[in-house]
Amino acid sequence: FFKNIHKKNQLNFEFRRFSVDRVKPGKFEEFYKLILHIHRIANMEVMIGYADVHGDLLPINNDDNFCKAVSTAHPLLRIFIQRQEEVDYANFGTNTITRKKKAVVALRNNDVNRKRPHIRIGMPQDFRPVSSIIDVDILPESHRRVRLYRHGSDKPLGFYIRDGTSVRVTPHGLEKVPGIFISRLVPGGLAESTGLLAVNDEVLEVNGIEVTGKSLDQVTDMMIANSHNLIVTVKPVNQRNNVVRSSRISGSSGQSSDSSGSTGYPSLSVASGGLVPSGAHGYQDDLESDEDADIVIESSLKRPSQRSNASLAYQLHRDLNLHSNPALRHSNGSLHKILSSLKTDPRHSLALPRGGVEEDGTVITL
């Protein structure tokens, strides 16, 4: 059958209607070309979005979400087309179509672009993961391995741990053993916003290392030492009462993978269990090398005038102006953004303009 598709260009508010085969929608690239053709805007970079069943504006930029979009049509599918410049993605490169990531991304955004223009849908590469559930296939069902990407985030990790006792099943029956538990979540913190950790969850591992036999202080230090890429394996307290007690929290790992399930959480990205493990491990390696990225400032010793007062930000500013890629130079705003974020996490910000060319340490030479 044919689907009627409503489409809208915010430039001139043009409306077109056309049809696509629902069963065999084809490739995204073909669809993209089709759109450009229909609107006669072949020389323009556009961003395509659609409104899903909840009225959220979601992007169409690869085969997967294209299929998904088509399948949600009932029967009309509203498609929104915006010029790339308008959605302000120009800062991040020009060939957005070819840079794809295999991650299902969701962003809450009601169809209220005009009312709240500051909330926009971004391209997948503009997102960064915030948290994920990983290793679902290898862990017991009662455990959950949560990764918190502190990296680049303004948010504090925001949780507390405490000593406690946990009950273990042993050959001699039930036995009480000391354990480490989450004692508090800071409102608005990363841990709370992911919804994957809860007060009284027992902490079993930190970055793959068991915490049994370790003191509260040791576990604290381990977590802080891993804070840039913290992977906590917990035994959630709400095992049995998942549905009842965790209505606001995405419960078991399987359910939370549905992007629609996360609509209540701004900037939340939950990768599904099946999809993530390979991707996550790849990402972990990135982070591992990334973590090495201490900032080194090497002064030119030939210029004796340069005393110690030159601040970090100042020197980096110079450096970025001189060497960063041309796209950056156009936009002072984004540079400032980078510099301001440098204080909290320079590595992340620097990694962007340098395109991750230097794996081991972003060494900047004046």
226 binds other proteins (CB under 8 A): yes
Q: To the nearest whole angstrom, how small is the minimum distance from the Cβ of residue 261 to other proteins? A: 26
User: Would you say 86 or 294 has its CB closer to other proteins?
Assistant: 294
DSSP label at residue 121: P
Residues 304-343 that bind other proteins (CB under 8 A): 304, 306-308, 310, 312, 343
- In the sheet that 14-18 helps form, which strands lie side by side, from edge to edge? 14-18, 5-9, 77-83, 46-51, 57-60
Q: How many residues does the chain have?
A: 366
30 binds other proteins (CB under 8 A): no
User: Would you say 110 or 341 has its CB closer to other proteins?
Assistant: 341
Q: To the nearest whole angstrom, how small is the minimum distance from the Cβ of residue 273 to other proteins? A: 25
What DSSP string runs through 56-100? BEEEE-SHHHHHHHHHH-SS-EEEEEEETTTTT-GGG-S-TTT--
Q: How far apart are CA 95 and CA 80, in angstroms?
A: 19
Residues 153-172 that bind other proteins (CB under 8 A): 156-163
Q: Are 196 and 146 in contact (CB under 8 A)?
A: yes
354 binds other proteins (CB under 8 A): no
216 binds other proteins (CB under 8 A): yes
Residue whose structure tokens are 């030492």: 225
Q: How far apart are CA 51 and CA 54, in angstroms?
A: 8
Backbone angles phi, psi at 85, to 5 degrees: -60, -35
Total residues in contact with other proteins, by rule CB under 8 A: 55
105 binds other proteins (CB under 8 A): no
210 binds other proteins (CB under 8 A): no
Q: To the nearest whole angstrom, how small is the minimum distance from the Cβ of residue 344 to other proteins? A: 7
Cα separations (Å) of 70 from 27, 52, 121? 11, 10, 19
**β-strand pairing of 144-148 with 230-235:** antiparallel
Stretch that binds other proteins, among 3-11, 120-128, 217-225, 273-281 (CB under 8 A): 217-225
Identify the three-state secondary structure at position 144. Answer: strand
Q: Which of 76, 224, 243, 313 binds other proteins (CB under 8 A)?
A: 224
207 binds other proteins (CB under 8 A): yes
Draw the binding track, 262-301, toward other proteins (x: CB under 8 A; -: no contact): -----------------------------xxxxxxxxx-x
Amino acid at 261: G
Cis peptide before 129 (omega within 30 of 0): no
Q: Which of 35, 222, 276, 328 binds other proteins (CB under 8 A)?
A: 222
Largest CA distance in the chain: 76
221 binds other proteins (CB under 8 A): yes
144 binds other proteins (CB under 8 A): no
Q: Are 301 and 293 in contact (CB under 8 A)?
A: no
Q: Which of 4, 19, 218, 241 binds other proteins (CB under 8 A)?
A: 218
363 binds other proteins (CB under 8 A): yes
Identify the three-state secondary structure at position 201. Answer: coil
Residues that bind other proteins (CB under 8 A): 150, 156-163, 183-184, 191, 206-207, 209, 214-228, 230, 291-299, 301, 304, 306-308, 310, 312, 343-344, 346-347, 360-361, 363, 365
